[in-house]
């Protein structure tokens, strides 16, 4: 991940509805979640949610697929992993401290 992609991801996630939607999609994992269910769980009108999901999609953080009349959204977990690794890439590079590294991120419970 480069700084341009990181900035795009952070910009998308810096809005409350988008952050809440993305976190909820992470909970659903690889099974994804229908837009109507997301709308209900977040208490957000579907047209508003569609706008926010589009923003997340342009940042590469979510994908979607049509299943019948529903659109199922998925968090792009690799993208958030890349973002976390990007942030930890230079951690403590100028110090001899035991620091947060990408390999330590993988030991996070429930990931």
DSSP state, 32? -
Task: Count how many domains the chain has.
Answer: 1
The predicted model scores a pTM of 0.81
Whether residue 102 lies inside any domain: the answer is no
Q: Which domain holds residue 41?
A: 3-76
DSSP state, 1? -
Give the CATH number of the domain where residue 28 resides.
1.10.10.10
Whether residue 40 lies inside any domain: the answer is yes
| Token digits of residue 90 | 């230079």
pLDDT tier at 101, thresholds 50, 70, 90: low
Q: Does residue 33 carry a pLDDT above 90?
A: yes
Q: Does residue 46 carry a pLDDT above 90?
A: yes
56 vs 46: CA distance, rounded Å: 15
Whether residue 64 lies inside any domain: the answer is yes
Q: How many residues does the chain have?
A: 111
For residue 21, give the nearest of 58, 59, 62, 60 by alpha carbon. Answer: 62
Mean pLDDT within 68-89: 92
Whether residue 93 lies inside any domain: the answer is no
């Amino acid at each position: 991940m480069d700084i341009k992609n990181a900035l795009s991801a952070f910009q998308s996630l810096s809005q409350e509805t988008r952050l809440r939607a993305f976190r909820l999609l992470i909970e659903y994992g690889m099974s994804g979640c229908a837009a109507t269910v997301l709308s209900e769980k977040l208490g957000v009108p579907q047209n508003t949610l569609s706008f926010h999901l589009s923003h997340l999609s342009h940042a590469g953080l979510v994908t979607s697929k049509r299943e019948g009349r529903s659109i199922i959204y998925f968090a792009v977990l690799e993208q958030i992993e890349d973002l976390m690794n990007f942030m930890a890439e230079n951690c403590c590079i100028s110090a001899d401290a035991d620091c947060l590294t990408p390999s330590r991120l993988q030991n996070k419970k429930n990931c």
